[in-house]
Amino acid sequence: MTTPPTPPPGCPAHGLGPDGLHRLYGPEAEADPMALYEKLRAEHGAVAPVLVHGDLPAWLVLGHRENLDVARTPSRFARDPRTWRDMREGRVAPDHPLGPMVTWGPVCNFTDGPVHERLRDAVMESLERFDRRGIRRYVTRFANQLVDAFVADGHADLVEDFSAQLPMLVMTQLIGAPEEHGPRLVRAARDMLRGTETALESDQYVTTTLQQLLETKKATPGRDLTSWLLEHPSDLTDMEVLAHVRVVLIAAFETTANLIANTVRMVLTDRRFRASLSGGHMTLPDALEQVLWDQPPINTVLGRWATGDTVLGGQQIKSGDMLLLGLAAGNVDPEIRPDLSVPVHGNRSHLAFSGGPHECPGQDIGRAIADTGIEVLLARLPDLEMAVPDHELQRRGSLMFQHLVALPVKFTPRPVAAGDAPAEPAPSASAPLPEAVPPAPAPAVTAPSAGIPGQQRRRPWWARWFSRR
């Protein structure tokens, strides 16, 4: 048997860079980030020195308390990437893979103080204008359409065919874009967030598409996020509106897609979960919170930057250092969860949506998309089960995310039920990205609800679903 060649020192395949620091990119970090986090916790404690792309130094915050300390004290840890010492001193190349994530823009998540409050208030007040029942009607409509596309086949990949499409289809409606933009934006957003070689091109595609949407909404306003930001009393500039529509769209896409896929997998494979759910002790919202603890949609948040020399978790942090919020690592901190096998019921103190003044403003919308989408899926396919063993599922990772590559399932083939949303072929998610086209005005958030079989029943849907298994 031939022995594979040993990678040369300093090669990303080793997982170690200069001074023996662990890289948060490359095969080791992407294959099993949770194992890497625990290795770093064992070596360094609550805060660990690491390397990001290009072997740039950073601090990964692993402790739950330390994560909240960073998130809640912008006076010590600013959100403005222009304070990053490596960027100021020219060590971050223009084509750096993390460029789209750390390039300053006029958006609330890159500001602090009064400017942040003005921008965040505009976003929060605009998001609050959505009728939650209207959002759920949109989710029901698109979830039914996606199920219609594969319900007669008896099998599906619930990542490609469902979870990766549903959030963007819903969000395109909420920002006022036409439905056909959904699959294209899925590909561009995922590519950008992975930090691939084409991340900057995908970033430009997203920006161009949203610029054209902005011009359309200035001419013909609607009942959507883009129009409401344009007319908000804070008098946001066009650039500020564009930046915030982009942030909301991208953040909602990947996080909600991961939440849906991870929750469905848990429902189908976790015996503890199934026992609790079938026994009536856990609702679907409870299940979502458990997944937000165990497998948060975002592993790591970029970033915070120290405003001065300070100490965190016993480490000497220098002014201008970059810190990464380790949300997944903080959620399994032994200081707060000594026994990970114990379910977490009714506890939302997880870090999945970060914390402090920059806590995710759209988390309730994300929960609504995941909760309603999964309910539609299980109601339509009551005998849904995994098509492969759980240990064969693969995940693809990056510095910020880790998501299921595929979630193969099988079920009894059935025709589209009368009263459900009309069957429409789902747009291809693998076609080349076309040129961005001017979007048409989107309908209001009052689309008619598609019927869900079994909506009127005495027992909750989860008890009915498990009774058939």
In CATH, what number is assigned to the domain containing residue 435? 1.10.630.10
User: What string of DSSP letters covers 409-443?
Assistant: EE----PPPTTSPPP-PPPPSSSPP----PPPPPP
Both 255 and 327 in a single domain? Answer: no
- Other Cβ atoms closer than 10 A to 95: 9
- 3-state secondary structure (DSSP) of residue 77: strand
Domain endpoint, select from 314, 344, 374:
344
Provide, rounded to the nearest whole percent, the portion of the chain with pLDDT above 90: 56
Domain endpoint, select from 327, 344, 361:
344
pLDDT at residue 25 greater than cutoff 70: yes
Both 377 and 436 in a single domain? Answer: yes
Higher pLDDT: 9 or 136? It is 136
Both 148 and 172 in a single domain? Answer: yes
Both 5 and 150 in a single domain? Answer: no
From residue 175, alpha-carbon distances to 209, 302, 366, 443 in Å are 12, 25, 14, 10
Q: Convert the pLDDT of each residue in 298-326 to its tens digit.
A: 999 988 999 999 999 999 999 999 999 99
Both 332 and 379 in a single domain? Answer: no
Domain count, the chain: 2
Give, for 86, the enclosing helix (H) or strand (E).
Answer: helix 85-88
Overall average pLDDT of the 119-147 stretch:
93
Overall average pLDDT of the 261-266 stretch:
94
Both 181 and 275 in a single domain? Answer: yes
Both 426 and 447 in a single domain? Answer: yes
Name the range with the highest mean pLDDT among 170-174, 317-321, 456-460: 317-321
Provide, rounded to the nearest whole percent, the portion of the chain with pLDDT above 70: 82
Give, for 156, the enclosing helix (H) or strand (E).
Answer: strand 155-157
CA distance 425 to 446: 23
CA distance 465 to 383: 8
Both 259 and 359 in a single domain? Answer: yes
Instruction: Give pLDDT, residue 278.
Output: 60
Higher pLDDT: 185 or 432? It is 185
* Contact criterion met (CB below 8 Å) for 374 and 260: yes
Both 5 and 58 in a single domain? Answer: yes
Overall average pLDDT of the 291-297 stretch:
93
| DSSP state letter for 130 | S
pLDDT at residue 360 greater than cutoff 50: yes
Instruction: Give pLDDT, residue 14.
Output: 54
Both 193 and 50 in a single domain? Answer: no
Both 211 and 253 in a single domain? Answer: yes
Which of 42-51, 102-111, 134-143, 328-337 is predicted least confidently?
Answer: 102-111
Overall average pLDDT of the 55-84 stretch:
96
Domain endpoint, select from 280, 309, 344:
344
The CATH number linked to 305 is 3.30.43.20
For residue 236, what are its two tokens? 């946001």
Give, for 385, the enclosing helix (H) or strand (E).
Answer: strand 385-386
Nearest-10 crossing angle of helices 238-269, 113-127:
60
Q: Residue 401's closest CA among 330, 304, 302?
A: 302
Both 230 and 210 in a single domain? Answer: yes
Instruction: Give pLDDT, residue 419.
Output: 47
Overall average pLDDT of the 411-418 stretch:
83
> 226 lies in which domain range?
97-291+352-469
